[in-house]
A and B are shown apart, each in its own frame.
Chain A
Amino acid sequence: MAESNEQKVSGLLQQGLELYGTGDVARAFLIWNEVLEIDPGNEEALDYMRDADRRAKPRGDAHRMGQSSLIEEARRLLRAENEEAALELLSSAPEGGSLEGEAMIELLRATLFQRYRDELGDLRQVPRMVGEAAELQGRNLPPSAGFLLSMVDGSTPLADLVSVSGMDRFEALRSICRMHRAGILEWDGA
């Protein structure tokens, strides 16, 4: 990991811990997720999250924000141009979120969808894995990412990968983008 990223990760870990200390668990999770974006598999972030999750469980959804503060926080994240975090936050709300929240989710998905499309570029590009699949096991990837990775064979273009994954198109593009950013996937011209 580059030195600048190491500093950023260290800062974010501290920030997340402070937020957690003040009881703002949701935002602490967002920050730790940011760490995992930069350094998938970061043990410290994973430990904090597991610990926080374990402590939160007996209290059920008590750690969750109220609907209005959730939207307020999402707006703050949007102002900071952190749409991905805003979407994650809103999507983490329990079933039956507010209409405003649902509208924001739709809007964010549309915005991010276009962003992922732009980021990926020409979908005829053929992705390759950087390194061996076995080397990735220390990282924290969801099964859907593992599934996408299993179809990367050095001859299947991005467009076909998305099509045959059977995943929601948005989710597939997001997953590919994240793996690209994390240096797991590469392709010519990227």
Chain B
Amino acid sequence: MSRVIGIDLGTTNSCVSVVENGQATVIPNSGGYKTTPSMFGISQDGKRLVGHLAKRQAITNARNTVFAAKRLIGRRFDDPEVQKSIDLCPYEIVRGPNEDPRIKIGGKTFTCPEISGIILREMKRVAEEYLSETVQEAVITVPAYFNDTQRQCTKDAGKIAGLEVLRIINEPTAAALSYGMNRKGDEKIAVYDLGGGTFDISILEMSDGVIEVLATSGNTFLGGEDFDRRIVQHLVEWFEETEGMDLRGDTMALQRLKDASEKAKCDLSMRDAVEINLPFIASDSEGPRHLNYELTREKLESLVYDVVEGTLKSVEQCCVDAGVQAQDIDQVVLVGGQTRMPLVQSRVTEYFGKRPHKGVNPDEVVGLGAAVQAAALLDNDNDMLLLDVTPLSLGIGTYGGHFARLIERNTTVPVSKGHIFTTTRDDQSAVKIRVLQGESDLAAENDLLGEFVLSGIRPAPKGEPEIEVSFDIDANGIVSVSARDLATGKEQSITVSSTGTLSDTEIDEIIQEHDLYEVQLKD
């Protein structure tokens, strides 16, 4: 039996893990790194680049390097988050035929599941190289607030990568799992997740092995990269002051400054000061110029203090939403590489009045949890009981623009609920059903998952036909709908075709194209 891997498909970095001899282990890539940048790019000579290589051209070839595609996946083009990305990202985001955002680089347009699929394929390759066997199944993590479309698109991405996604689990749930928190009694857990590009805070409640997300908050445009940017900005200003040269328009210099700033930031989590040496950063008629600067932890903290404080405002909001006070929290879990920073740790400790959990690397904790879940799915004797809850209410749009909830938020998944519909006109042969997800009483303010027309209803006076429509949410949080005419017993298969998801044909075409490309690469 082949092994199932756990993948933390992050906005900035991804991580793949597996359980070996009962122990969850992170799999390093060929460069020895335990995380891989979630980046895809096309070089100026047309080569497709994934991970670290793509990251290296992120500034010098910014228009052809995609990062943070996770912010776009499963959203509509008009979504404010997508519009903000269009304003901030150097690569081109265009409106797709399904009203979804698509990414245009190197003269080709990619769907968001396709970009995520490329990252997942790379993670699959890393795992296969390490395990020396083919990997076909995976558990993938997603943010707790992801709706059905975003989850479905992530599953599609897995399919594009050649993976059967056995389960999609919430990132904070995976983090709690990697600490074995599911084996403890009832408690409230705060998961503070400061990654490269996003900040998420989740308050979970553990009860009888069911992990309920009480509230989530955060900022999808705040993360470790903001810290890097502050350092780069400081170095550019310092160089201008001391050497009289402005590096802002020099992409090669900026790429080097970004790489060096990220490294210095990481090193400063363990040291009080680091040397940043960038020889030949610029030149003029006097010859080459070098940048040699000592960055201290104290200076770094002064540069980013307000960013860290900003995360605590979200924490406060999350506690309010969850109806808890900081002192009610039993355990605090740190997730994301940026939480290694001593300033972040001390401010979180001060806020909750208790030390966060230590022992698992914060940038590996979600991936490890996914691997734990993967192993549990294979092991029938495993006594682990883990149940997620649906993050958003599910329902349909009704007359007058209202939203009728059929499955309430925080219902333990999997769940199935039926509802009887009838006709409103005599001899009505079809009804249109709009499936929505969200918490607003107004249909327009919720996410439209899809709409379908149930046809072939037998001719009858209005109100007489009884059509049972069943709404199912599986363990991945993915919604499916089926309908049955109770009088005739005739069942109709209905697919909720959401705007952002891809059809099976589209997925197959993408897989074929990427398979061809794989051959091309090996040549």
Residues of chain B contacted by A162 (CB below 8 angstroms): 45
Task: Give Cα A140–Cα B280 distance, bound, in whole angstroms.
Answer: 8
Among B156-164, B205-213, B284-292, the stretch in contact with A: B284-292
* CB-nearest residue of chain B to A163: B43
Residues of chain B contacted by A169 (CB below 8 angstroms): 45
Q: Is A137 an interface residue when CB atoms closer than 8 A count as contact?
A: yes
Residues of chain B contacted by A146 (CB below 8 angstroms): 256, 278-281, 288
Per the 8 Å Cβ criterion, residues 11-53 of A in contact with B are 46, 50, 53
Task: Give Cα A82–Cα B253 distance, bound, in whole angstroms.
Answer: 32
* CB-nearest residue of chain A to B247: A143
Contact, CB under 8 Å: B279 / A166: no
Task: Give Cα A21–Cα B251 distance, bound, in whole angstroms.
Answer: 40
Contact, CB under 8 Å: A143 / B253: yes
Contact, CB under 8 Å: A166 / B43: yes
Per the 8 Å Cβ criterion, residues 133-160 of A in contact with B are 133-134, 136-137, 139-147, 149-151, 153, 155-156, 160
- Interface size of A by Cβ–Cβ distance < 8 Å? 29
Min C-beta distance of A174 to chain B, whole Å: 15
Residues of chain B contacted by A144 (CB below 8 angstroms): 252
Q: Is B314 an interface residue when CB atoms closer than 8 A count as contact?
A: no
Size bracket of the B interface: 20 to 34
Contact, CB under 8 Å: A163 / B45: yes
Residues of chain A contacted by B277 (CB below 8 angstroms): 133-134
Among B54-62, B112-120, B265-273, the stretch in contact with A: B54-62
Task: Give Cα A184–Cα B38 distance, bound, in whole angstroms.
Answer: 32
Per the 8 Å Cβ criterion, residues 40-93 of B in contact with A are 43-45, 47, 49, 53-54, 56-57, 60-61
**Set B31, B43, B280: member contacting A155, Cβ < 8 A:** B31
Contact, CB under 8 Å: A142 / B44: no
**Set A141, A149, A156, A163: member contacting B47, Cβ < 8 A:** A163
Min C-beta distance of A123 to chain B, whole Å: 12
Residues of chain B contacted by A147 (CB below 8 angstroms): 252-253, 255-256, 280
Contact, CB under 8 Å: B259 / A141: no
Contact, CB under 8 Å: A166 / B49: no
Residues of chain B contacted by A150 (CB below 8 angstroms): 256, 259, 278
Task: Give Cα A153–Cα B259 distance, bound, in whole angstroms.
Answer: 12
Q: Is B283 an interface residue when CB atoms closer than 8 A count as contact?
A: yes
Contact, CB under 8 Å: A50 / B259: no
Residues of chain B contacted by A53 (CB below 8 angstroms): 285
Contact, CB under 8 Å: B281 / A46: no
* CB-nearest residue of chain A to B286: A50
Residues of chain B contacted by A149 (CB below 8 angstroms): 279-280
Q: Is B30 an interface residue when CB atoms closer than 8 A count as contact?
A: yes
Contact, CB under 8 Å: A143 / B282: yes
Residues of chain B contacted by A165 (CB below 8 angstroms): 57, 60
Task: Give Cα A53–Cα B287 distance, bound, in whole angstroms.
Answer: 12
Task: Give Cα A136–Cα B292 distance, bound, in whole angstroms.
Answer: 13
Task: Give Cα A137–Cα B252 distance, bound, in whole angstroms.
Answer: 18
Q: Is A164 an interface residue when CB atoms closer than 8 A count as contact?
A: yes
Min C-beta distance of A147 to chain B, whole Å: 4
Per the 8 Å Cβ criterion, residues 34-91 of A in contact with B are 46, 50, 53
Given A150-B256, A150-B278, A166-B61, residue A143 in contact with residue B288 (CB < 8 A): yes
Contact, CB under 8 Å: B281 / A164: no
Contact, CB under 8 Å: A151 / B31: no
Contact, CB under 8 Å: B49 / A145: no
Min C-beta distance of B444 to chain A, whole Å: 45
Min C-beta distance of A164 to chain B, whole Å: 4
Task: Give Cα A169–Cα B279 distance, bound, in whole angstroms.
Answer: 22
Residues of chain A contacted by B32 (CB below 8 angstroms): 155
Given A166-B43, A166-B60, residue A145 in contact with residue B285 (CB < 8 A): no
**Set B53, B280, B290: member contacting A142, Cβ < 8 A:** B280
Task: Give Cα A148–Cα B94 distance, bound, in whole angstroms.
Answer: 33
Task: Give Cα A155–Cα B256 distance, bound, in whole angstroms.
Answer: 18
Residues of chain A contacted by B282 (CB below 8 angstroms): 143
**Set B57, B280, B286, B290: member contacting A164, Cβ < 8 A:** B57
* CB-nearest residue of chain A to B57: A164
Task: Give Cα A46–Cα B45 distance, bound, in whole angstroms.
Answer: 35
Task: Give Cα A133–Cα B282 distance, bound, in whole angstroms.
Answer: 15
Per the 8 Å Cβ criterion, residues 269-317 of B in contact with A are 277-283, 285-288, 290
| Interface-central residue, A139, A149, A150, A160, by most chain B CB under 10 Å | A150
Residues of chain A contacted by B255 (CB below 8 angstroms): 147
Contact, CB under 8 Å: A143 / B57: no
**Set A133, A136, A166: member contacting B44, Cβ < 8 A:** A166
Contact, CB under 8 Å: B279 / A137: yes
Residues of chain A contacted by B278 (CB below 8 angstroms): 146, 150
Task: Give Cα A141–Cα B288 distance, bound, in whole angstroms.
Answer: 7
Min C-beta distance of B272 to chain A, whole Å: 20
* CB-nearest residue of chain A to B47: A163
Contact, CB under 8 Å: A134 / B47: no
Task: Give Cα A150–Cα B291 distance, bound, in whole angstroms.
Answer: 13
Min C-beta distance of A149 to chain B, whole Å: 7
Task: Give Cα A160–Cα B54 distance, bound, in whole angstroms.
Answer: 10
* CB-nearest residue of chain A to B277: A134
Contact, CB under 8 Å: B286 / A156: no
Contact, CB under 8 Å: A137 / B287: no
* CB-nearest residue of chain A to B59: A166
Contact, CB under 8 Å: A164 / B256: no
Given A166-B44, A166-B60, A166-B251, residue A143 in contact with residue B53 (CB < 8 A): no
Residues of chain A contacted by B60 (CB below 8 angstroms): 164-166
Residues of chain B contacted by A163 (CB below 8 angstroms): 43-45, 47, 49, 53, 57
Residues of chain B contacted by A136 (CB below 8 angstroms): 279-280
**Subset of 29 A-B contacts with CB under 8 Å:** A50-B286, A133-B279, A134-B277, A134-B279, A140-B287, A142-B283, A142-B288, A143-B282, A143-B283, A146-B279, A146-B280, A146-B281, A146-B288, A147-B253, A147-B255, A147-B256, A150-B259, A150-B278, A153-B31, A155-B32, A163-B47, A163-B53, A163-B57, A164-B57, A164-B61, A165-B57, A166-B57, A166-B60, A166-B251
Which residues of A are interface residues toward B (Cβ below 8 A)?
46, 50, 53, 133-134, 136-137, 139-147, 149-151, 153, 155-156, 160, 162-166, 169
**What are the nearest 6 A-B pairs in CB distance?**
A146-B280, A166-B60, A163-B43, A147-B252, A164-B56, A164-B57
Apart from A143-B253, A160-B53, list 13 A-B contacts with CB within 8 A.
Answer: A46-B287, A133-B279, A134-B279, A140-B287, A142-B283, A142-B288, A146-B279, A146-B281, A147-B256, A150-B259, A156-B53, A166-B60, A166-B252
